[in-house]
Amino acid sequence: MMKKYEELMRLCIESASKYRFEAAPNPMVSAIIYDEREDKIISQGVHRKYGENHAERDAVEKAGDCDFSDKTIIVNLEPCAHQGKTPPCADLIVEKGFKKVVIGTYDPNPLVCGQGILKIKNAGIEVVTGVLEDECKELNKVFIKNVTKKMPYVLVKIATTLDSKIVTAGGESKWITGEASREYVQKLRSQHFAILSGSGTVLADNPALTCRIKGERTPDRVIIDRHGKISFDYQVFRDDGARVFLATNNLNRDFPKNVTPVEFANFRDLFSKLYNLGVYSILVETGKTILTAIIKQEMADELYKFVSPKIFGTGLDFIGNLGVYKINEAYKLKFCDMEKVDEDVLIKAKFLYED
Ligand code: AOF
Ligand code: ZN
């Protein structure tokens, strides 16, 4: 049966993931009601929009007039135990008298956090936990960060040579990685609430910082320009429906209506303010200075490093001084995955912080 649960959990992950932006700040959740004896899916529910039905209730409603007493409900996140915008799903499951509940991962929301599972177990319903747990956690990594830290999830993307350089000794930087890697970045842009870059990159490259994949959402843009030096003629400021946040401490100028200035002391302060403005995840695409500051201030959750099979030798390193003088002072990460992207390699790693 475990193989079957995993197969159904994969279906939940796939359906839930379509509602990333609509469901936020809620997690992405889908639930399947399954008849084990008949090996048949009765219904599938999804949490489609913040404030609307949770996945479990959606699945129950879709099942219609059904006897749930011999049915299993598979859900990628622990059913909630609290009264929020909607009533508790754990209560619904108990009330409908399900036989079994199969859960991907627990809900880190302090209002839930094991209470949903407890309610269901206390009602005498069998509970299976940890089915495709890693995948379920990965699906909702943004929600997990948001609900536990009240901060956006921050993914830092870099593209370097094999010797970790981003500019040649002659000052050239385009292009280091291949076309497939750059397409991959477009996909990453479509999955984040905002892209962050700095005035240096804007002045040097005048990038659009949009997602060029047809039909995908254009992410908001966060531009760091502490002293308010750059003019609003650059592409990142054009009015294309995306919100533009200018992180600056110079408020003595007129801002276009699509540009919102955000004063900030440091990156923790900035990200906390952005979180309160509905920026739940950020893809960082900057040069060395800002990248170094974000990592030094322990604000990065994950790093995607695209590595091109080239060596520059002398050139600019992707990162600067982090104040690491002893090996045990190093910033620690955990490798999560590695894949070949055409001629390049993509290394995915998560930062490990002590707290
Ligand atoms: C579930 N199933 O489909 C989702 C859950 O304000 P509410 O009522 O929408 O509650 C939001 C919280 O409920 C959210 O922070 C998370 O802990 C949980 N989300 N739980 O059982 C779902 N979306
Ligand atoms: Zn719920």
- The answer to whether 274 and 262 have CB atoms below 8 angstroms apart is yes
CB count, 10 Å around CB of 3?
7
Query: For every residue of 208-257, which 3-state class applies, written as one string?
Result: CCCCCCCCCCCCEEEEECCCCCCCCCCHHHCCCCCCEEEECCCCCCCCCC
Q: How confident is the model at residue 50 (pLDDT cuts 50, 70, 90)?
A: very high
Nearest partner of 85 among 108, 52, 113, judged by Cα = 52
Element (H, E) at 89: helix 89-96
**Which residue's CA is minimally distant from atom 17 of ligand 1?**
109
Q: How confident is the model at residue 53 (pLDDT cuts 50, 70, 90)?
A: very high
Burial label, 300 (beta-carbon count in 10 A; 0-12, 13-18, 19+): buried
Report the sign of the C-alpha dihedral through residues 308, 312, 318, 319, in that order. positive
The position carrying tokens 């003088």 is: 325
Tens digits of per-residue pLDDT, 264-314? Answer: 999 999 999 999 999 999 999 999 999 999 999 999 999 999 999 999 999
- For residue 109, the ligand closest to its alpha carbon is 1
Choice from 56, 57, 80 to test ligand 1 binding pocket (greatest atom count within 8 A of CB): 80
- Residues 119-128 have a mean pLDDT of 98
Please state the separation of Cα 192 from the chain's center in Å.
Answer: 6
| pLDDT value of residue 229 | 86
Burial label, 12 (beta-carbon count in 10 A; 0-12, 13-18, 19+): buried
112 lines ligand 1 (CB under 6 A): yes
**Which residue's CA is minimally distant from atom 4 of ligand 1?**
54
55 lines ligand 1 (CB under 6 A): yes
pLDDT at 14 over 80: yes
DSSP 301: -
Choice from 19, 20, 26, 74 to test ligand 1 binding pocket (greatest atom count within 8 A of CB): 26
The span from the CA of 353 to the CA of 342, in Å, is 32
CB count, 10 Å around CB of 205?
15
Angle at 298 between CA 297 and CA 301, to 5 degrees: 140
79 lines ligand 1 (CB under 6 A): yes
Q: Ligand 2 being an ion, which residues bring their Cβ within 5 A of it?
A: 54, 80, 89
- The answer to whether 264 and 223 have CB atoms below 8 angstroms apart is no
57 lines ligand 1 (CB under 6 A): no
77 lines ligand 1 (CB under 6 A): yes
Whole-structure pTM value: 0.96
pLDDT at 355 over 80: no
Q: How confident is the model at residue 354 (pLDDT cuts 50, 70, 90)?
A: confident
pLDDT at 189 over 90: yes
pLDDT at 137 over 90: yes
- The answer to whether 285 and 303 have CB atoms below 8 angstroms apart is no
